[in-house]
Structure 1
Amino acid sequence: MIAIQENLIHPKSIGPALAPTSPWRSGRWVFGAVWLFFMVYPAIGIVTSDGAIVEKVFGMAMISAFAVIYLLLCVYSMFVGEAEEKLSPATRTAAVAILVALMVASMPLLKTSAFAMAPFVMAAIAFAAPWKGRYALIGIVTIIAAAVAVPEFFGWELDSGFLIVMIIVGITMLFSRVMRDAQRDRETVVERQRALNAQLAVVAERERVARDVHDILGHSLTVITVKSELAGRLVDLDPGRAKTEIDEVTALAREALAEVRSTVGNLRTPDLTNTIAATESALAAADITADLPHVDGYASTIYEGPHATLFAWVLREATTNVVRHSGATRCEVTISTDAITISDDGRGSPVLTYGNGLRGLAERVEAEGGRLTVSSDATGTTVAARFDDR
């Protein structure tokens, strides 16, 4: 079983939908921000320069502004997913432009030491700028070319070792950008396929319902039509037989009505056995390997027990979440007389967003004296309903 932290859901304690994890709390931004340590070199260059106090203060202010803007890009755009980005494309473009401007503005005071900011600018171009890959390539190549041309033009000395480091950093950033874009493209294709599979599953279910309704009503209505026409012809010729035919039509109509009500009731109140079959179909359509219980392997009392209908509701809602949101490749369902557990290996989260589905499900479970638990982390999610003291 997946080792995950379990969160007990009580309907009364479930508030508004929880927001995604704060980018400050995620820790991913540290990967980019840790490199700000190297900003100490231009800072030392300013302190040890021959400039006036005012120039040094202005230079330190520019370096501080550079570090703050870079850090904000790390937190809100550079090292988060597309769904978590807080900055608009125009804002990200403006932030990158400001970084470039601050680097250029510091050159009169720092000279070649100003290019110590170049790796940060290249990282911002590669990961935060909303441009396509080829524009990121142009931006990084331009910075590297400037690191060669500007010192040559002004007669400054540029450490060849530092230039090599810039080239290596630029190549690494470009390669990482290409890999990230390729990964996002693959994820987009997978998500579109999952959405298509989910739609196909819905269409298949609708077709099944249509077939059931047709099979139920088609025969009955055909017989009713034939008998009604026959009774109409026999009213004057053989009233006794006409009455018999009318009685049979009435019986058939009542039987058809009962069958329709039963069908509609099954749609509203799911049957556990049928829900398991529908779950298998939905997971297969979404290319998710399913490990489901089968009637042959379980006691019939599980499927006909006091919690069977509720377990069907739990299974239906959990499966819907797995197909739509998890990105899982495997889903396991276990059922006993007093518990049902649905586990997947998809994209979990320590902080779950509880929508109307889970909230309503928790209310159903509590109303019958049970408890619903949802536990999730990066290795997957588990939804369980229990009616014991475990």
Structure 2
Amino acid sequence: MNPKSFHDLTAESRGLASSPSKPYIIVSTFMSLVWLGFLYFPISRALTLPLGPKIISLVLTATFALAYIMAFILTWRKPIVGERNFRYFDGRHSLYKGNAVAFAVIVMITLLQVAVLGPLDSLALLPFIAAAAPFTLPQAVGYIAGALTVLVSFLIPSFVPNGQEYFGLAITTSAVFMFVAGMTFFIGSSIESQRQAGTQAILEERERVARDVHDVLGHTLTVIALKSELAGKLLERDPGRAQTELREITHLARESIEEVRQTVAGLKVQSLSEEITAASQALESAGIGLQREGSAWPDLDSIPAVNQAVFAWVIREATTNIIRHAAASQATIKLDRSNLTITDNGVGIPPDAAGHGLEGLKARVEQVGGILSIVGKRGLASTAGATEPQNIPETGTVVEVKL
């Protein structure tokens, strides 16, 4: 998969993973606004001041509360497309203008309140800054700003006369910052995990569709090509047989269309008996004899359903490869309840053989914890879960599955 398509998948999963529900937004916003209770302290202090400073302090406090509320409201943004996303956890941690302005207003008002109320009574505003920093600023900057706020909350009582009694606010500021920083970290980690899981799910689904479509079309188109060649040769010599082959080609094409539809929808379930019949017909059309061995032939239904599905895919892919590449005259399918071996007397698969078909077979066998080996007379071509070296056959190719 190229980088561009992977980027598109990541963006798609990001939109799915970072779209919280409306109740989540409401609850999170409410929890953020709980800290407004700390404004009781600057308000009560302002009410003891003369009229002029009292009005100034109350106006500053009201503006402070509004800026704080806006800082959290702006954390929820609506992108060009899609639902509302949590701005901070969208994977970019960018600094948005609205959030920056709201945070700057909070800091500036706190400094102005120091001039009106004094440094100690203004300490009640620091928990707001500690709570807003991790949410409104990029991750690293937000943590640094919050930590500096906590440091200031401890330094001011240490150097201002009679400040010892305000250490409680410093401890509260520290607790608020640690709580919010921890919450943002764990929420961010959780959403990032959801993104990765979403991306992986999309990749796996695309690989499944690609694998299934390859296996379905590869086999059917090979048989259609063989029958088309045969029908062309029979047109003058045996028109009746040619007509039969053409009808079968039409039937195969319609079956292929339906199989592709079922595969894309994830509904395709391989039938072992049907696949064996199709393989026999395909090999016969290619002039390749088929021999059957093993204990499971009298009763295919005795084979577990999972094994049947895997065996069906392997038989389909192996048959296609024999017809296309092996130049064989004879093939053998040995079938037991948990083992399948397909051999041919052709040229043998090369060690460097690769493609969607082999990768698909390995993926299917690995999914059920089985062992797959594909060995040609020229060496080991492919393995999945194999634990021992395979013997190199003297002729042709051996495809073996153990479940």
TM-score (norm 1): 0.53
Counterpart Cα distance in 2 of 1:103 and 1:140:
14
2:132 is aligned, of 115, 124, 140, to: 124
2:145 aligned residue: 139
The more displaced of 187-196 and 20-29 is 20-29
Q: Which runs of 5+ in 2 are unaligned?
A: 1-18, 89-94, 271-304, 306-403
8 Å Cα contact 2:71-2:136 kept in structure 1 = yes
Which of 51, 54, 57 aligns to 2:52? It is 54
Note the alpha carbon deviations across 1:299-319, whole angstroms, 9 max, x for none. xxxxxxxxxxxxxxxxxxxxx
CA distance in 2, matches of 1:21, 1:170: 25
Q: Identical aligned pairs, as a percentage? A: 16
Deviation at 1:125, TM superposition (A): 0.9
Map of 1:254 onto structure 2? 247
Aligned to 1:175: 182
Q: Give 1:89 deviation, angstroms.
A: 2.3
Distance 2:185 2:24 in 1: 26
Residue 68 of structure 2 contacts residue 128 of structure 2 at CA under 8 Å; is this kept in 1? yes
Aligned to 1:200: 207
1:30 maps to what in 2?
30
Q: Where does residue 71 of structure 2 map in the other structure?
A: 73
Task: Tell me the equivalent position of 1:107.
Answer: 114
Alpha-carbon spacing, 1:195–1:86, altered in 2? closer, same or farther (3 Å) = same
How far apart are 1:40 and its partner, in Å? 1.4
Aligned to 2:99: 92
Measured after TM superposition, the shift of residue 212 of structure 1 is 4.3
| Structure 1 residues 206 and 262, CA gap change in structure 2 (3 angstroms) | closer
- Aligned residues of 1:32 and 1:79 also touching (Cα < 8 A): no
Cα distance in structure 2, aligned partners of 1:196 and 1:187: 14
In structure 2, the CA distance between the partners of 1:116 and 1:263, relative to structure 1 (3 Å rule), is same
Q: Output the CA distance in 2 between the equivalents of 1:267 and 1:137.
A: 52
Question: How many residues are matched?
Answer: 241
Residue 224 of structure 2 corresponds to 217
Deviation, 1:263, is 2.4
Q: 1:56 to 1:35 in 2, by over 3 A?
A: same
Structure-2 separation of matches of 1:221 and 1:245: 14
Larger-gyration structure (1/2): 2
User: Contact 1:73–1:128 at 8 Å: present in 2 too?
Assistant: yes
Paired residues for 1:1-390 under 5 Å:
22=22, 26-49=26-49, 52-77=50-75, 83-85=84-86, 89-111=96-118, 112-129=120-137, 131-132=138-139, 134-150=140-156, 157=163, 159-225=166-232, 227=233, 243-268=236-261, 270=262, 275=267, 277=269
Q: Alpha-carbon deviations, 1:192-225, whole Å to 9, x = none?
A: 2122212212212321332343244133124235
Write the distance in 1 (CA, Å) between the matches of 2:150 and 2:162. 16
Q: Residues 212 and 188 from structure 1, CA distance in 2 versus in 1: closer, same or farther, beyond 3 angstroms? A: same
Q: What is the TM-score when the length of structure 2 is the normalising length?
A: 0.51
Letter in 2 for 1:53: L
Question: What runs of 5+ residues in structure 1 fail to find an aligned partner?
Answer: 1-18, 232-242, 279-295, 297-390
Q: Contact conserved, 1:115 with 1:147, CA < 8 A, in 2? A: yes
SS in 1 for 2:241: helix
Report if the CA contact (8 A) 1:220-1:256 is conserved.
Answer: yes
Ranked by relative contact order (alpha carbons within 8 Å, sequence separation 6 or more), the top structure is 1
Q: 1:125–1:246: structure 2 CA closer, same or farther, 3 Å change rule?
A: same
1:170–1:20 distance in 2 versus 1, CA, 3 Å: closer
Give the counterpart letter for 1:84 in structure 2.
N
Assess, with a 3 A threshold, how the Cα gap between structure 1 residues 135 and 110 changes in structure 2: closer, same or farther. same
**Alpha-carbon separation, structure 2, partners of 1:79 and 1:27:** 16
Q: Secondary structure at the match of 2:163?
A: coil
**Partners of 2:134 and 2:180 within 8 A in 1:** yes
Separation in structure 2 between the aligned mates of residue 177 and residue 24 of structure 1, nearest angstrom: 14
Contact 2:20–2:84 at 8 Å: present in 1 too? no
Q: Taking structure 1 as reference, are residues 180 and 79 closer, same or farther at Cα in structure 2, changes over 3 Å only? A: farther
2-side partners of 1:61 and 1:223: how far apart?
92
Compute the displacement of 1:108 (Å): 0.9
Q: Deviations over 1:282-335 (max 9, x none)?
A: xxxxxxxxxxxxxx9xxxxxxxxxxxxxxxxxxxxxxxxxxxxxxxxxxxxxxx
Shift of 1:265: 4.1
Alpha-carbon RMSD across the aligned residues, in angstroms, is 3.6
1:54–1:212: structure 2 CA closer, same or farther, 3 Å change rule?
farther
Equivalent residues of 2:133, 2:142 under 8 A apart:
yes
Distance 2:25 2:197 in 1: 28
- Taking the aligned partners of 2:56 and 2:141, their CA distance within structure 1 comes to 32
Tell me how far apart the structure 2 counterparts of residues 150 and 103 of structure 1 sit (CA, whole Å).
Answer: 14
How far did 1:116 drift?
0.9
Letter of the structure 1 residue corresponding to residue 51 of structure 2: I
Q: 1:202 corresponds to which letter in structure 2?
A: V
CA contact (8 A) 2:103 2:133 kept: yes
Contact 1:122–1:140 (8 Å) recurs in 2: yes
Contact 2:33 2:69 in 1 (8 A): yes
Distance change (3 Å), C-alpha of 1:147 and 1:79: farther
